[in-house]
Amino acid sequence: AGAAQGFRIPPIDGDGRHPNVQAEPAFQKGWFEVQDEGSQIVAALAGAEAGMQVLDYCAGAGGKTLALSAEMGNTGQIFAHDAEKARLAPIFDRIRRSENRNIQIVSKPAELAPLSNHMDIVLVDAPCTGSGTWRRRPDAKWRLTQRQLDQRRGEQSEILDAARAFVKPGGLLVYITCSVFDAENGDQVAAFRARHGDFTPVDHRKLWDSRFPSHPAAARLGSDGGISLSPALSGTDGFYVCALRGAGSGR
C-alpha cells in the first residue's frame, strides 16, 4: 500500500544473497531507511504535519521517529523517548545520517515534565507480543505464553495512562502495536476509553484514502476506529493503529 512512496526489495529465490543495502553510499548519506512497509504506513496514519509538536513515547531505535520527521518536512519538533534508554542507542546514528534537525532525544523522566499537556500528537508504539511478525519468525508463536501476553497487556495499559498526560487539549494519542491480537489492540483501546472517557477515536478512512487511494481495501477498519494491517490484507507485517482525540479545543 505504501510502496508508491518508496520502493520494495523483492525476495531472492534460491541461494542468491540479498544486497547489503546498508553498505551503499546512498544509505550512508541518509537518503533512505529500511523498514517494513507496515511500519511506515502506521506512522503515516498518525497524521503528523509540518510545524507540529510530537512526542514519540516509545521511540526505540527510531524508525517511526524518522518516518514522522519526514511527514513533518523536517519542521516542528519531535521528542524521542523510551523508558529503556539502551533501546535508543541506534537513533543517534540514524539522526546523524539523515541530517534531521527536528528530533530531540528525551531520555530522562525530568526532561519529559515540560512537555506535559503540550503535544499535538503523542505516539505510543507499545511493547507487545510481536505476533504481527510471525510470518518472518514462525517459531515465536510456540514460545508465547499466556503469562507473557498478560504482562504485555499490563505494560500497555500503564504506558497509555502515562502518555495521555502529554496530549494537549484536542490533541491526538496514537496507539500502535505490531500485534494481531484483539487483546492488545481493540480491547486495549476500549479499556483505556473506559478509564478515560475524554478520548474518542478518530476516523482513519479519509486519511487512508488520501494517502493510499489505490489500496482502499488493504486494511481492516474496526468498530473501535482502529486500522489493522496483515500479510493477507496489505502484504505487510501485522500492525494495529488507533488515534484517539482528547477533549478540548485544538487541532
Q: Which residue has the cell 524518522?
A: 66
Q: Which residues, in sequence order, are CB contacts of 194 under 8 Å at separation 6+?
A: none
User: Which residues are CB-neighbours of 162 under 8 A, at least 6 positions away?
Assistant: 57
For residue 247, give Cα distances in angstroms to 115, 121, 164, 170, 244: 18, 13, 11, 5, 10
* Residues acting as catalytic residues: 178
Compute the half-sphere exposure of residue 153: CA atoms within 13 Å on the CB side of its CA: 18
Beta bridge partners of residue 6, listed in sequence order: none
d(CA 231, CA 133): 9
Count of C-beta atoms within a 10 Å radius of residue 203: 10
Grid coordinates of 249: 479545543
Rg (alpha carbons) of the chain, rounded to whole number: 18
| Distance from chain centroid for Cα 131 | 15
Phi, psi (deg, nearest 5) at residue 194 = -65, -30
Provide the β-strand partners of residue 239: 229
